[in-house]
Structure 1
């Protein structure tokens, strides 16, 4: 990644942002309804990201949550940095990091948003975190369940917050 200065991994701002959208004090693992019942704990830690088993009903201490969150988010951010080819601000990096934490680094790196940011079109790239090319249709705000693709207003609120953070 090309950066105009040092970017912080797991910045305090990102920690607060994830707490707002993933939940603070989620010390007991729960089945995430939006993720098809995937066991989740802390700020969005799942069996796919954790070095420890995530079992519904298990209690994780604040210290374990912080340790694993820092490790998981920082590891994702290092991978994310590899797909960014232009200087970005801490705010933009944190917004993309939140998106990657929610959808996975490969999906974020392959997104229209990152493509636009890498093309030097920051404002458009940030907007693409929440909106389709037409500027009206929400993106990254759907889950697939037994009935098909379902719009989730809370996910779109998070995408809009990421887009706002991205351009700040």
Structure 2
């Protein structure tokens, strides 16, 4: 398993900070209204979660780190040259992938443009992913703007 997150503490810290800042932290599991009532905890974790589960902040951060490594593997499978993507752009792509799912990321214009060698174009495709339930959501508009900004910093870098 090739993982830039596992090799770079700075990249892992940047990914946890970015995703964590947008996902929000809830240490007690709750039914997520945007995710059709699916039990959710910590920074948006749904896998194996039961309503009422409780975690500490440190457990939540560790859980997010583990989840990001998993999502990174899925993201890497659909990028032709993942190690050539600048670190900040890589972090932004991972944040999007974590939020929309690996399948959607791999089918996206973001991935297509990155695979064509157009990282700037991939960054500029991020804002399109601003809907939940078919409607534009202000929080997603803001998140995508931040992901795009970080992504473009990687290209400018």
TM-score (norm 2): 0.84
Decide which structure has greater helix share. Answer: 2
Distance, in Å, in 2 between the alignment partners of 1:17 and 1:68 is: 15
* CA deviation profile, 1:32-66 (whole Å, cap 9, x unmatched): 2221222111111112xxxxx31222211234323
Give the counterpart of 1:142 among 131, 143, 147: 131
Q: CA RMSD in A?
A: 1.7
Count the aligned residue pairs. 145
Aligned counterpart, 1:17: 18
Aligned counterpart, 1:29: 29
Alignment of 1:13-162 (within 5 A): 13-24=14-25, 26-47=26-47, 53-86=48-81, 87-130=84-127, 139-144=128-133, 149-162=134-147
Distance, in Å, in 2 between the alignment partners of 1:128 and 1:159 is: 9
Instruction: Specify every segment of 5 or more residues in structure 1 that has no aligned partner in the other structure, as ranges.
Output: 1-5, 48-52, 131-138
List structure 1 runs of 4+ shifted beyond 6 angstroms. Answer: none
Deviates more, 1:120-129 or 1:30-39: 30-39
2:89/2:150 contact within 8 Å kept = yes
Aligned counterpart, 2:152: 167
TM-score (norm 1): 0.79
